[in-house]
Amino acid sequence: MQTEEFLSHLTHQRRLSAHTVDAYRSDLRQFAAYCAAVYETTRAGDVSREMVKSWLAMLVEEGRAATSIRRKLSALKAFYHYRQRRGQQQDNPTVRIPTPRVGRRLPATVPAEDLRALFADFPDPETNDNYQLLQDHLLLALLYQAGLRRAELIGLDWNDVDLDKRQLRVRGKGDKERLLPFGSRLAELLERALHLRPAPAVSVFITPSGKRLYPKYVYNTVRKYLTVATREEKKSPHVLRHSFATHLTESGADLNAVKELLGHASLAATQLYTHNNLERLREVYRKSHPGGGE
C-alpha cells in the first residue's frame, strides 16, 4: 500500500509530531502485512470493510488493549479519508466500523511529598559546579514545575528562555507555541545552567557528548531518580506532567488556567485531572467520616 504521500501530509500539512507519524506508519504497515498474508492483496483500493473488521477481530483475539486497537483503527480511518478526499478511493472501507470502548484511566502521579524530598536531595544550584547533576535537577524541575511534555523539553533552546520576564517559549503539539511563567527556584536553576553550559550549546539540555537529548535519555534519567524517590509503579516523564496538573487542581487552581499551562487544545482533556482530585476526596471521606465506609 502506498502510504508515504499520506504520511508526508501528516508531517508537513497537519504538522503532527514525528512520534505520531511513526505510530501511524507502523499501524498501516501492520494492516498492509495482514492484507498481504490473509487476502493476498497489497493495493489500498482492494480493501473491503470485511477485511478491516477481520483485522480488528484478530487484534482482539490476540488480546491487544482497546486503546491500541482504537489507535490503529484511527490511523486506518485517516488514511482512507485522505484517499477519498483526493479522488484516489471511491468507497471508504472504514465507515460505520465501531471503535472499541476504552475505560477511563486516571493519570498516574507521584505524591507531592515524594517530589519535595527528591528535589531537596539535590545540591544548592548556586554552589553546584557539577553540570551533569545540575542538568538532571533542571530536567526534573521543568517536567514537574512547568508541566512540559518530553518532546517540549528536548526541543527547548536557550533563546526560548527569558530570565528577565521569567517565562519560557514552548513549542507543543502541532508546533503551537505557548508562554509559560516560572518561579524563583527554576530561575536559579536556569541561570546556573546557563552560566555553566558548554560554550557552543544552543539546546538547554545536551548529552555528555554535546548533542541534543533524545527521548530514551530523558526517560532513563527520570526513571533513575523516581525509582529512588517513590514507590509509585509508573516512573516516566509524563507522570511528572500528570503530577504537575493534579497538584495544581488539588490546590484549587482554575481549570482553564491549568489547560493553558498544559497546552491542551480543549478543556475536556484537562478535566481528567478533576477526577483524580475527586478520587482523593472520596478516600478522605471513606477514612474520616463515620459513615464513609458504608
Q: Which one is catalytic: 53, 64, 223, 238?
A: 238
The residues, any chain, with a CB within 8 Å of residue 105's CB and separated by 6 or more, are none
Q: Which one is catalytic: 9, 53, 169, 173?
A: 173
> Which segment of 57-61, 233-237, 253-257, 290-294 scores lowest on mean pLDDT?
290-294
* Residues 146 and 245 sit within 8 Å (Cβ to Cβ): no
Is residue 278 pLDDT above 70, yes or no?
Answer: no
> Which segment of 60-64, 82-86, 107-111, 220-224 scores lowest on mean pLDDT?
60-64
Is 241 known to be catalytic? yes
d(CA 229, CA 112): 11
The whole-number pLDDT of residue 198 equals: 86
- Read off the amino acid at residue 18: A
Q: Which one is catalytic: 80, 144, 225, 273?
A: 273
Mean pLDDT of 26-51: 91
Mean pLDDT of 245-257: 88
Is 273 known to be catalytic? yes
The whole-number pLDDT of residue 105 equals: 60
Q: Which one is catalytic: 137, 192, 241, 259?
A: 241
* pTM of the predicted structure, to 2 decimals: 0.63
Is 238 known to be catalytic? yes
Stronger pLDDT, 107 or 267, i.e. the higher one: 267
The whole-number pLDDT of residue 151 equals: 93
Taking only the tens place, the pLDDT of each residue in 60-87 is 878 788 888 889 999 999 999 999 988 8
Is 171 known to be catalytic? no
Is 149 known to be catalytic? yes
- Radius of gyration from C-alpha coordinates of the chain: 23
Residue 201 exposed, middle or buried by CB count within 10 Å (0-12, 13-18, 19+): middle
Domains and CATH numbers, the chain: 4-85 (1.10.150.130), 112-286 (1.10.443.10)
Mean pLDDT score of the chain, rounded to an integer?
A: 88
CA angle 112, 118, 121 (to 5 degrees): 140
Is residue 276 pLDDT above 60, yes or no?
Answer: no
Taking only the tens place, the pLDDT of each residue in 175-194 is 889 999 999 999 999 999 99
Mean pLDDT of 199-203: 86
